[in-house]
Amino acid sequence: MKTYKMIAMVLMLMVGGGAKAEEKLGVPVYAGAKFEPVATEWAIAMASGDAYCYSTADGLEKVVEFYKAQGLKFVSGDKEKAQFTKGKVEVYLNNPWVDTKAQVLNRTTLISILKPEH
């Protein structure tokens, strides 16, 4: 049953993923970021909740500054990753990141916005 829920959610996200993260979780999506359905499917499975993933060619530092300017709480970070929170919503930034389906290392910045069910 859980698999069907995940498939339905991913299909719904593929149609309107960009607006959903901001509407449902209250966290803005970085301007120009592209929805990543495969990463979103993986994040939903890992978080057991709502999740939306996007990628941008912009560097990690620029994306970090964007989320700081949005007032999210900076939790941790280094040259390849960063974490923010806004209430119960978590935002993870990674550069590089692995496309789990294609098994390809991407040198773009992955933005994962999620709200675990816990």
pLDDT per 10-residue tile (average), the chain, 118 residues: 48 51 90 94 88 97 98 97 97 94 92 90
- Dihedral (Cα; 82, 85, 86, 91), 10-degree rounding: 50
- Dihedral (Cα; 96, 46, 99, 75), 10-degree rounding: -10
Model pLDDT, residue 49: 87
Residue bearing tokens 């500054």: 65
Q: CA-CA distance, 55 to 31, in Å (whole number)?
A: 10
Model pLDDT, residue 88: 95
Model pLDDT, residue 55: 97
Model pLDDT, residue 19: 57
Global pTM? 0.83
Model pLDDT, residue 10: 46
